[in-house]
């Protein structure tokens, strides 16, 4: 099967790549990922808070970016998580000058202020991205959470200002409560395949509705997860938790399993498969809206056997 694809305007050998995580912190890990068939490397995020509050130097991140660029033959995508308009612009420009093939803008914002309405939250994202598109020459992907009142509209507005890709979705690491200490407790819970359904739905809704590339991140653990992601319309399939659990070789296993499944089902290229189960090609579009919800409740209450 011909796995070649394009993501953010970059020609790639396949859709499969590690998502932003500490997997790319060490050169040896990056080289293992490339050997396993990664078509690109997405670096862990550069956080503006780490630079401002904890004295971390952006030079460390830039040096790692340069070292990785020198050692691999595949695109290296930087990741940036900013907090201020000035920070987004300053660090995006630094990453572009350091040679990033593209930048994934990781928008992680919890709207806790009840006086800030949804429009203001979305306008802040649009305004920041618009400035970056005018100021940064490399492709930009926007990584979003699913918690917007009209995600389709936000995606369309980002598409209209020329973003190169949308990455769905940012995993929100929600703290637990320790009732003994009366404090919030933090725990890293890796994803499972059960989280993929939300991504599939929105990739399927946006496929062929935006010009931007679409990437799935969160919930891809095996070859069937990857098949579903591409069939929904994904141009790129990012894997993190499965690689943390099983090592870089897991990416190669997913890729080989994907190829095997596609060959067995008569697909000759990624383009033949992409978007086959999207809203744009749905016989019954209501499946992506209320139809699936109603049908599921009917089954649950015994309306169907």
Q: State the CATH number of the domain containing residue 271.
A: 3.20.20.70
C-alpha–C-alpha distance, residues 139 and 142, integer Å:
10
Cβ atoms of residues 30 and 70 within 8 Å: no
pLDDT of residue 291: 57
Is 69 contained in some domain?
yes
C-alpha–C-alpha distance, residues 55 and 74, integer Å:
31
Cβ atoms of residues 79 and 112 within 8 Å: no
Digit-coded pLDDT (tens) for 121-152: 999 999 999 999 999 999 999 999 999 999 99
Structural tokens at position 53: 């509050």
Is 285 contained in some domain?
no
pLDDT of residue 43: 97
Is 58 contained in some domain?
yes
Please identify which residue in the block is written with the tokens 């990012």: 238
Cβ atoms of residues 250 and 243 within 8 Å: yes
Main-chain dihedrals φ then ψ at residue 281, nearest 5 degrees: -115, 10
Report DSSP state, residue 138.
Answer: S
Cβ atoms of residues 80 and 90 within 8 Å: no
In sequence order, what are the residues at sequence separation of 6 or more whose Cβ sits closer than 8 angstroms to the Cβ of residue 265? none
Structural tokens at position 4: 């070649």
Is 296 contained in some domain?
no
Bridge partners for 102 per DSSP: 77
pLDDT of residue 287: 67
Is 123 contained in some domain?
yes
Residue numbers of the domain that contains 203: 5-278
Structural tokens at position 67: 């070292």
pLDDT of residue 25: 92
Cβ atoms of residues 255 and 247 within 8 Å: no
Question: How many structural domains does the chain have?
Answer: 1
C-alpha–C-alpha distance, residues 108 and 143, integer Å:
8
Structural tokens at position 1: 């099967």
User: Mean pLDDT lowest for which of 97-101, 186-190, 287-291?
Assistant: 287-291
Is 254 contained in some domain?
yes
Is 225 contained in some domain?
yes
Cβ atoms of residues 2 and 268 within 8 Å: yes
Digit-coded pLDDT (tens) for 229-281: 999 999 999 999 999 999 999 999 999 999 999 999 999 999 999 999 999 98
Average pLDDT of the segment spanning 79-92: 95
Digit-coded pLDDT (tens) for 12-61: 999 999 999 999 999 999 999 999 999 999 999 999 988 876 656 789 99
Taking each continuous run of H as one helix and of E as one strand, the counts in the chain are 12, 12
pLDDT band at 300 (very low <50, low <70, confident <90, very high): low
Cβ atoms of residues 218 and 201 within 8 Å: no
Is 303 contained in some domain?
no
Digit-coded pLDDT (tens) for 228-238: 999 999 999 99
pLDDT band at 305 (very low <50, low <70, confident <90, very high): very low
Q: What is the pTM of this model?
A: 0.93
């Amino acid at each position: 099967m011909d796995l070649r694809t394009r993501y953010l305007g970059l020609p790639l050998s396949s859709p499969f790549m590690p998502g932003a995580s500490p997997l790319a912190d060490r050169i040896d890990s990056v080289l293992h990922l490339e050997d396993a068939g990664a078509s690109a490397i997405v670096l862990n995020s550069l956080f503006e808070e780490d630079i401002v509050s904890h004295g971390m130097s952006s030079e460390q991140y830039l040096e790692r970016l340069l070292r990785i660029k020198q050692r691999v033959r595949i695109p290296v995508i930087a990741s940036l998580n900013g907090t201020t308009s000035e920070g987004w612009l300053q660090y995006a420009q630094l990453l572009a000058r350091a040679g990033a093939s593209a930048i994934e803008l990781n928008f992680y914002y919890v709207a806790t202020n009840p006086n800030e309405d949804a429009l203001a939250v979305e306008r802040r994202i649009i305004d920041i991205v618009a400035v970056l598109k005018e100021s940064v020459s490399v492709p930009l992907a926007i990584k979003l959470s699913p918690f917007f009142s009209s995600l389709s509209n936000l995606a369309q507005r980002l598409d209209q200002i020329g973003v190169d890709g949308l990455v769905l979705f940012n995993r929100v690491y929600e703290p637990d409560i320790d009732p003994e200490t009366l404090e919030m407790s933090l725990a890293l819970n890796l994803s499972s395949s059960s989280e993929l359904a939300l991504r599939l739905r929105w990739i399927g809704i946006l496929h062929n509705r935006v010009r931007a590339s679409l990437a799935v991140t969160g919930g891809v653990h095996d070859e069937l997860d990857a098949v579903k992601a591409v069939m929904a319309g994904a141009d790129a399939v990012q894997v993190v938790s499965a690689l943390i659990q099983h090592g870089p070789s897991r990416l190669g296993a997913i890729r080989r399993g994907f190829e095997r499944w596609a060959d067995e089902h008569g697909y000759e290229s990624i383009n033949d498969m992409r978007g086959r189960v999207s809203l744009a090609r749905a016989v019954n579009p209501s499946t992506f809206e209320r139809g699936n919800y109603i049908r599921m409740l009917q089954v649950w209450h015994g309306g169907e056997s």
